[in-house]
């Protein structure tokens, strides 16, 4: 198999395909992403076989799959953080001034900023009220869990749960492409 035996590799794929898919899915929690990552992992395994040291094949393949899935999650998380931080500037401008007054980098920039701000306003109205409050307090007003809990008269654990459910709602209902 290490010297390019394609039949042996096909047998390896047939034996471990479902196992590696489930391993990846357990980390990324999205079928399409898990399918794409599985393809990537199998190609990485194929091209890494010459470096394989004959010690625990299943463990070695699992490590490749887990590392790739974790890298994917980190990358997706960074993209979401960047998107969130880009959204905070227009949101702060909307909250503090009520209207936009950005420095003039040209008409195109102003139009794009107004469109983005309007899109964010529309999207914010879609968020259920109980999630809207905790998201605004945490991400826009930069309050701590304890401050939010005190303001709402609940425990910190309740705020953690609400924020977690709010993030899940955003992941399920908002698409990154909507903001590009």
> What's the rounded Cα separation, in Å, for the pair 24 and 26?
5
Note down pLDDT in tens along the chain; length 180 residues. Answer: 555 678 888 999 999 999 999 999 998 988 999 999 999 999 999 988 888 888 889 999 999 999 999 999 888 877 777 766 666 555 555 444 444 444 445 677 677 767 766 666 676 677 788 788 887 787 777 888 888 889 889 998 998 888 888 888 877 877 655 554
Per-residue pLDDT tens over the stretch 81-98: 776 666 655 555 544 444
Q: Please state, in angstroms and rounded to a whole number, the distance separating the CA atoms of residues 91 and 79.
A: 18
Number of H helices, E strands in the chain: 7, 0
**From CA 87, how far away is CA 68, in angstroms rounded?**
29
């Amino acid at each position: 198999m290490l010297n390019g035996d394609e039949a042996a590799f096909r047998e390896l794929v047939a034996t471990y395909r479902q196992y590696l898919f489930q391993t990846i899915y357990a980390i990324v929690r999205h079928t399409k992403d898990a399918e794409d990552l599985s393809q990537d992992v199998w190609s990485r395994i194929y091209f890494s076989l010459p470096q394989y040291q004959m010690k625990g094949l299943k463990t070695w393949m699992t490590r490749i799959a887990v590392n790739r899935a974790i890298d994917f999650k980190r990358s997706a998380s960074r993209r979401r953080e960047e998107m969130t931080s880009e959204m905070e500037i227009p949101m702060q401008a909307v909250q503090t001034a009520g209207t936009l007054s950005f420095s003039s980098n040209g008409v195109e920039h102003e139009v794009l900023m107004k469109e983005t701000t309007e899109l964010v306003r529309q999207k914010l109205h879609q968020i259920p009220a109980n999630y809207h409050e905790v998201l605004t307090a945490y991400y826009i007003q930069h309050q701590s869990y304890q401050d939010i809990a005190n303001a709402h008269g609940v425990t910190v654990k309740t705020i953690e749960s609400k924020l977690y459910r709010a993030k899940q709602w955003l992941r399920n209902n908002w698409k990154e492409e909507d903001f590009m």
